[in-house]
Amino acid sequence: MLRWDGSLQRIGLLLLLVATGAYLWWNIAMVDDGEEPAALRRDTFIPLSMAVTQPIPKNIQFDTAKVDLGRELFNDVRLSVDDTISCASCHVLSKGGTDGMVHSIGVNGGEGGINAPTILNSAFNFTQFWDGRAANLEDQMDGPVNHPKEMGSSWSKILAKLHDDKHYLEAFSKVYPDGFMVANIKDAIATYERSLITPNSRFDSYLRGDQQAISEQEEIGFKKFQLYGCSTCHQGVNLGGNMYERMGLMDDYFGDRGNITEADYGRYNITHKESDRYYFRVPSLRNVARTAPYFHDGRTARLRDAVEIMAKYQLGREIPRADADAIVAFLHTLDGEYEGSEP
């Protein structure tokens, strides 16, 4: 006899898995047919798992006094040793929260060894930096502040410098009971960073049910993005930022590119485990059309190339031109708004 608590449930689950598997196989087989990219139409039903992605929340409330203080500090060049560089020098809101360069330039013209990621929506990433070496935004700041090629300073130098500024002393004592100190400076900047989120993208309107918010080609692009398996890595509210993956999972990215540097080792630099070599935190794809050049090495400024590189090295395949175009079109729907308009 089959009983509800055990075997029946398991058989049900098995049937469901087999059905889902067959369905996905059928779709992927369809996509595989490079000659017929138009086989997928707008109304082709693809079950959107809520695990794939969610819209950016619209109404997160922040302590505006802290946000204002954080914004001021973020733009204050006195955080650098020679008063030339602020956080905003390398994270420019109007450039999608990046600096648009392959490598950033810090104090004394120092060139960094890795591409600057966007700070937009960074609060949704599960760790900070390409290799995830900082657990949160507060810890992340120790990096640029002390880095000899970024700000070349230290918290004690910053504290000493800003202590002469009556404005900060007064503003901090209003907002923080324990006044002007490093932990509160970090808290203010991190609060500002948490406010740098970009809701209201066309894609989010689509996720919320407005099918007309994106075009037919963009919608097909989103479906292909799932069917090809991009969303196995780029998922969650940021379409990225919630796992580490190997760059060159299916093909030898670094061998083909050449000139391997220490920055290319990724998580290996933190854990020193061979199995972590070339692993990076999967980057967010929110606002990706605005954050060129792409990849930790700033390899290409063309989104189209980035998609093809991903197909080759992460999925081990070439994808037909029409599919790559559709995916690029979909990626453009991820441009969001900061405080109601384009950042």
CB-CB contact of 201 with 144 (8 Å):
no
Q: Under the criterion CB under 6 A, does residue 233 sit at the interface with ligand HEC?
A: yes
Q: How far is the CB of 14 from ligand HEC (least distance, A)?
A: 27
Tell which residue, 79, 66, 72, 75, has the closest CA to residue 167.
72
Q: How far is the CB of 10 from ligand HEC (least distance, A)?
A: 31
Binding part of the chain for ligand HEC, among 1-9, 25-33, 161-169, 307-315 by CB under 6 A, reads 307-315
Among positions 108-167, residues that touch ligand HEC (CB under 6 A) are 112, 114, 116-117, 119, 122, 125, 128-130, 137, 140-141, 144-145, 150-151
CB atoms under 10 Å from CB of 20, counted, come to 12
- CA 282 centroid distance within chain: 7
Binds ligand HEC by CB under 6 A, chosen from 237, 327, 329, 334:
327
Phi-psi region of 190 (alpha: psi -120 to 50; beta: other; left: phi over 0): alpha
Q: How far is the CB of 60 from ligand HEC (least distance, A)?
A: 17
Among positions 63-92, residues that touch ligand HEC (CB under 6 A) are 79, 85, 87, 89-91
Contacts of 330 (CB under 8 A, 6+ apart): 203, 214, 218, 219, 220, 221, 222, 224, 225
Q: How far is the CB of 333 from ligand HEC (least distance, A)?
A: 13
Q: How far is the CB of 53 from ligand HEC (least distance, A)?
A: 13
Tokens of 34: 């490079």
Q: Under the criterion CB under 6 A, does residue 52 sit at the interface with ligand HEC?
A: no
Nearest CB to ligand HEC, comparing residues 193 and 325: 193
Nearest CB to ligand HEC, comparing residues 220 and 247: 247
Q: DSSP assignment of 128-154, as one string? A: BSTT--BSSHHHHTHHHHH-TTTT---
Nearest CB to ligand HEC, comparing residues 89 and 191: 89
| d(C-alpha 57, C-alpha 197), whole Å | 9
DSSP-assigned beta bridge partners for residue 105: 111
Q: How far is the CB of 161 from ligand HEC (least distance, A)?
A: 14
318 has catalytic annotation:
no
Ranges of beta strands (E only) in 252-301 are 279-281
Contacts of 81 (CB under 8 A, 6+ apart): 107, 151, 152, 153, 157
Tokens of 110: 């120092």
Nearest CB to ligand HEC, comparing residues 71 and 202: 71
Binding part of the chain for ligand HEC, among 17-25, 33-41, 167-175, 226-234 by CB under 6 A, reads 226-234
Q: In the stretch 266-295, what mask flags binding to ligand HEC with x, by CB under 6 A?
A: --------------x-xx-x--x--x--xx
H and E: helices and strands count for the chain: 14, 2
User: How many chain residues interact with ligand HEC (CB under 6 A)?
Assistant: 52
72, 150, 216, 318: which is the annotated catalytic residue? 150
CB atoms under 10 Å from CB of 278, counted, come to 18
Unique residue bearing structure tokens 């994270």: 91
The footprint of ligand HEC (CB under 6 A) covers 79, 85, 87, 89-91, 104, 106, 112, 114, 116-117, 119, 122, 125, 128-130, 137, 140-141, 144-145, 150-151, 189, 193, 228-230, 232-234, 245, 247, 249, 280, 282-283, 285, 288, 291, 294-296, 306-307, 310-311, 314-315, 327
**Which residues are annotated as catalytic?**
150
